[in-house]
Amino acid sequence: MPTLQERLAGFASATAADLSNRDVQERLSHAAIPAFFKLAEAWGLRDDPARQLLGGVSNGFFYQLKGGRKKTLDQDRLTRISLLLGIFRALNILYNRKLADAWVNLPNANPMFGGEPPVTYMIKGGVPALSRVRQLLDVRRGGR
């Protein structure tokens, strides 16, 4: 079974693809779904926060994904997963594995988070918040 890093590599190489194209969505969903659940496991996310990070998907849809039923994600969910995987990667560059995995659940003094854990900020703010967290971490690690 591929590691999360291997799944990231496969997904990241295709993120510039046309996410509005159904064939691309199907192809990327195959890698994105298991990568998301590995990420959720690494971060210790319960099902409700994980569902919210995917845009508030229904319980039924979420558990079908989690159970391995073949599903195709839409452009929004693929974008969310791409941002989350970028956050995961940046955290693992910046910090040791234990802190990288805990970071999203720890209260954060950065004014952006208002003392709340980054996962709360990301859930409340949706894609724009995911993008801002990704940018923050990319700047911290010296990336673009």
10/21 Cα distance (integer angstroms): 18
Is it the case that residue 83 has pLDDT exceeding 70?
Answer: yes
Q: With contact defined as beta carbons under 8 Å apart, do 69 and 33 qualify?
A: no
Mean pLDDT, the chain, rounded, equals 90
Helical residues (DSSP H) of the chain, grouped into ranges: 4-12, 22-42, 47-53, 59-66, 75-94, 97-102, 118-140
Q: Which band of pLDDT confidence, cut at 50, 70 and 90, is reported for residue 2?
A: low
State residue 46's pLDDT score. Answer: 97
Q: Which band of pLDDT confidence, cut at 50, 70 and 90, is reported for residue 142?
A: confident
Token couple for 73: 């994600």
Residue spans of the domains in the chain: they are 4-140
Kindly report the pTM of this predicted structure.
Answer: 0.86
Is it the case that residue 23 has pLDDT exceeding 50?
Answer: yes
7/2 Cα distance (integer angstroms): 6
State residue 53's pLDDT score. Answer: 98
Burial (0-12, 13-18, 19+ Cβ within 10 Å), 3: exposed
Percent over 90 (pLDDT), the chain = 81
pLDDT tens profile 27-43: 999 999 999 999 999 99
State residue 14's pLDDT score. Answer: 46
Alpha-carbon dihedral angle through residues 89, 95, 97, 99, given to the nearest 10 degrees: -120
